[in-house]
Structures are given as C-alpha cells and as structure tokens.
C-alpha cells in the first residue's frame, strides 16, 4: 500500500542579524532560528571586536587609565570613568569634597537622561514611529547641550579625576543648566504619557519579551531590565556613592516584566534624574574647590585591591582594580551591564514572532544602538506545503 500523505518537517529558518549590519553600531551576531514566524531559538555570538582594554590598562599608569576607561563606551563614559576613579580613590583613601560629589552626580545623571531618551527614541523608530524618534532626538539635544556646558564636551566628557572633577560650574552656567532641565521635563512627561496611552506602542510592547522575577536574578540581568521585572536593585541606593545618599530620589520598579515595563522604567528614571539634577544644582555645596591639584596625587599606588560599582544607564557596572605597589595596575577587570543583559538574553525570544525580535532586543538597551528590521528568508520556493513541528505534534497535517 503506497503512502497517502507525505509529511515534510519544515526547515528551521536561520536569520543572521549582524555582525555587520547598517544599523548595528557594534559588532554582534544574533542568530535567530524561526519556524514560520515563531522564533524557536536565538544564539548570541560575540568575538568580532576585541579591544583589549583590560590588557591595555595593565600597561598604562593608574591615571592614564581614567581616559582609557572613559572610552570603553561613548554613551556612558562618565560612569565608566567615575567607577574606575572611585576604585582608585578606595585604594588611595582619597575622598572628594561634597561639591565635587554633587557635580559628579549631575554629570552621570545627564548621561542617564540622554541615554534613556536615545533608547526610547530608537524603540519608537523600531516600531515605525519615525516622527516620534525625531522629536525625541530633538529634545535630547537640550541635555547634550547641558552636558557640554558642564563637562566641556557633548559625548566624551573626561570629567572625573581622582579626588574630584575637572571643571567647576559658575552661577551663570548653573542657572543655564537648571533652565535647560526645566524645559526638558514637560517634554519627557509628554513622551511618557505617549508610551502609556498610544495604542500602537502598547500593542507592540506589552507582553512582549516577558522576563520573570526569578529569571531576572537567575540569569543575572541588571539595571532597567531587572527593575522592569520587579527586582529592586540599584547601586545608587545600595552603595550610596558620591552624593546619592544626600539627594532625594526613588528606585523605580515595574512588575510587568515585559518590554513595555523596561521602557517605562527608563521614562520614570529620566524624570527622577531631571529632578535629581535640579536638586543637586540648586543645593550645590560650597565646601571648596572641586578640582583637586593633580600634582599632589601620588604616582605610586599602595598595594591592595578595590571593587567599585556604579549604576550605569544600562545597569550595574563594576571595576576591579588590583595594585601591587607600582605605577601601573596589576589587574583591571571591567564588567559592563550589557555583557550580562545581551549575552543572557537568548531566553527572552523563543515563542515570540520575528517582528518582536528587534523590539525585545532594543528593550534591553544593548550597546548596539539599533537592530532595525530583519529579513525573512523564504525557504518555500516550490509549491510544497510545509508543516510546522508544533502542528505535527498536534496531529494537524
């Protein structure tokens, strides 16, 4: 008796995204496997760009490394420099004055504001809401200007130094910064409202890329990704470094655990950051010059180890520094938040559609600015009817 039915097991379509892609700012390969429209597996492939910064740090002196560490990432350069600088201060037993601590907080929160606005703008673009993207980027220029006034540069600030900061602000600049922040606040409130009310945004983000509370810690997710799953972790609250213990603010958490919650954490944190900056600038202490005399700093460091943490825009960033008593560090270990959030993100995609892939990916705020759209490879070139494994399992063929 001949066969009456031919069962064809469908191909699992492989969708490589990266490592070189017009929209990827950093090299990474997301290899997604899809059955029809449904993603069944994602592999995260790294290794396309080894910069050797940790090895480089061992070959440069402690102070030069402040500039190297500030260039690990453009978007979060002051937090990198701050974390490394504080690791050095722990080793030396140096503490900046209160004015310097407040100014450090302002610089780092400026970065948080522009970074969160950037990723929310990119999310809007990914969703196809290009006019919203452009409006957000236009408003983001205010904070870029503010960062330039404070640090001297729009992006790479080089603001941190052992024992303080590199520039003070005068009354005129301080008033200008407060004015810019007050202009920005209603715009951010409007964008937040849009993310709460716009039907298209909600349809794309709500219940997409769900991350449970337990998986958030089990897979070591940090920052807004973890806080979007109701994990109350924030280095600013636990370590209270610099002036975070003096300035009033709240840790933001959401219970939903989806892409929407992650973006909402960022909007709320942007508003908190604006308020923190206004408070810090209005209550700027006058306990001395925040710019220390570099010539008084020791060239050689005492033997010892230190481990500094900072709440970067994307989550907990850590620097381990080991000194054996010389002018160069023996070991510097940097662990960026995206290292955890991106590499462990493979669990978030299965079960969602290909169109959800960029949404989930962007909701992690990876150091890769934009995923844009993915191309679906049509394997069904003939007229055969492919049966999905799921359907096969159910006996529907």
Tell me the closest approach of the beta carbon of residue 180 to other proteins, in angstroms.
Answer: 32
**Whose Cβ is closer to other proteins: residue 110's or residue 361's?**
361
Tell me the closest approach of the beta carbon of residue 27 to other proteins, in angstroms.
Answer: 11
Q: How far apart are CA 220 and CA 223, in angstroms?
A: 10
115-118 contacts at long range (C-beta below 8 A, 24 or more positions apart): 115/75, 115/76, 115/313, 115/314, 115/365, 116/266, 116/267, 116/269, 116/270, 116/273, 116/313, 117/143, 117/188, 117/191, 117/270, 118/75, 118/369
Tokens of 343: 């590499």
Q: How far apart are CA 382 and CA 135, in angstroms?
A: 45
**Whose Cβ is closer to other proteins: residue 281's or residue 360's?**
360
| DSSP, residue by residue, 43-97 | EEE--S----HHHHHHHS-TTHHHHHHTTS-STTHHHHHHHHHHHHHHHHT----
Q: Are 304 and 293 in contact (CB under 8 A)?
A: no
Find the helix or strand (DSSP H, E) in which 114 lies: helix 98-126
Q: Are 320 and 88 in contact (CB under 8 A)?
A: no
Tell me the closest approach of the beta carbon of residue 95 to other proteins, in angstroms.
Answer: 11
Tell me the closest approach of the beta carbon of residue 47 to other proteins, in angstroms.
Answer: 5
Q: How far apart are CA 92 and CA 194, in angstroms?
A: 48
**Whose Cβ is closer to other proteins: residue 67's or residue 330's?**
330
Tell me the closest approach of the beta carbon of residue 16 to other proteins, in angstroms.
Answer: 17
Judged by the rule CB under 8 A, the positions of this chain that interact with other proteins are 46-47, 50, 52, 54-55, 90-91, 213-214, 217-220, 222, 231-235, 237-239, 304-309, 316, 318, 320, 322, 330-331, 333, 335, 339-340, 343-344, 347
**Whose Cβ is closer to other proteins: residue 327's or residue 347's?**
347
Buried residues in 343-368 as b, exposed as e (16+ CB within 10 A): ebbbebbeebebebbbbbbbbbbbbb
**Whose Cβ is closer to other proteins: residue 239's or residue 391's?**
239
**Whose Cβ is closer to other proteins: residue 32's or residue 91's?**
91
Show Cβ contacts of residue 5 under 8 Å, excluding neighbours closer than 6 positions: 397
CA distances from 367 to 26, 237, 259, 349 (A): 7, 24, 17, 18
* Cα distance between the two ends of the chain: 20
**Whose Cβ is closer to other proteins: residue 120's or residue 345's?**
345
**Whose Cβ is closer to other proteins: residue 203's or residue 300's?**
300
Tell me the closest approach of the beta carbon of residue 74 to other proteins, in angstroms.
Answer: 20
CA distances from 88 to 315, 316, 338, 350 (A): 21, 18, 23, 43
**Whose Cβ is closer to other proteins: residue 109's or residue 311's?**
311
Tell me the closest approach of the beta carbon of residue 353 to other proteins, in angstroms.
Answer: 24
Tell me the closest approach of the beta carbon of residue 29 to other proteins, in angstroms.
Answer: 12
| DSSP, residue by residue, 256-288 | S-SHHHHHHHHHHHHHHHHHHHHHHHHT---SS
Show Cβ contacts of residue 207 under 8 Å, excluding neighbours closer than 6 positions: 258
Tell me the closest approach of the beta carbon of residue 89 to other proteins, in angstroms.
Answer: 9
**Whose Cβ is closer to other proteins: residue 33's or residue 194's?**
33
Tell me the closest approach of the beta carbon of residue 333 to other proteins, in angstroms.
Answer: 5
């Amino acid at each position: 008796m001949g066969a009456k039915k031919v069962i064809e097991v469908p191909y699992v379509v492989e969708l490589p995204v990266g490592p070189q892609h017009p929209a990827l700012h950093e090299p990474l390969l997301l290899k997604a496997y899809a059955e029809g429209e449904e993603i069944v597996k994602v592999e995260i492939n790294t290794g396309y760009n080894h910069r050797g910064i940790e090895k480089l740090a061992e070959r440069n002196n402690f102070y030069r490394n402040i500039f190297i560490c500030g260039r690990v990432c453009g978007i979060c350069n002051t937090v990198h420099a701050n974390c490394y600088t504080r690791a050095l201060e722990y080793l030396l037993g140096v503490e900046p004055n209160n004015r310097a601590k407040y100014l450090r907080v302002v610089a780092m929160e400026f970065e948080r504001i522009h970074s969160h606005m950037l990723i929310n703008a990119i999310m809007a673009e990914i969703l196809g809401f290009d006019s919203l993207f452009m409006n957000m980027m236009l408003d983001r220029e205010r904070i870029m200007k503010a960062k330039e006034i404070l640090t001297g540069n729009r992006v790479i600030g080089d603001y941190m130094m052992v024992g303080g900061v590199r520039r003070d602000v005068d009354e005129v600049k301080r008033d200008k910064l407060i004015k810019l922040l007050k202009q920005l606040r209603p715009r951010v409130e409007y964008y937040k409202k849009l993310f709460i009310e716009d039907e298209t945004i909600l349809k794309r983000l709500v219940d997409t890329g769900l991350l449970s509370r337990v998986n958030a810690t089990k897979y070591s997710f940090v920052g807004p990704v973890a806080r979007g799953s109701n994990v109350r972790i924030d280095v600013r609250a636990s370590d209270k470094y610099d002036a975070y213990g003096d300035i009033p603010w709240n840790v933001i958490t959401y219970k939903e655990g989806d892409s929407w919650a992650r973006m909402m954490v960022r909007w709320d944190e942007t508003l908190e950051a604006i308020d923190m900056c206004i408070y810090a600038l209005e209550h700027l202490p006058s306990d001395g010059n925040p710019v220390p005399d570099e010539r008084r700093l020791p060239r050689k460091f005492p033997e010892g180890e230190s481990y500094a943490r900072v709440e970067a825009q994307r989550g907990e960033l850590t620097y381990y520094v080991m000194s054996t008593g010389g002018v160069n560090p023996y070991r510097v270990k940097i662990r960026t938040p995206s290292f955890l959030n991106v590499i462990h993100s493979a669990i978030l995609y299965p079960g969602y559609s290909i169109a959800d892939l960029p949404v989930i990916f962007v909701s992690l705020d990876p150091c890769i600015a934009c995923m844009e759209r993915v191309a679906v490879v049509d394997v069904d070139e003939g007229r055969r009817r492919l049966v999905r494994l799921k359907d096969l399992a159910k006996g529907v063929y």
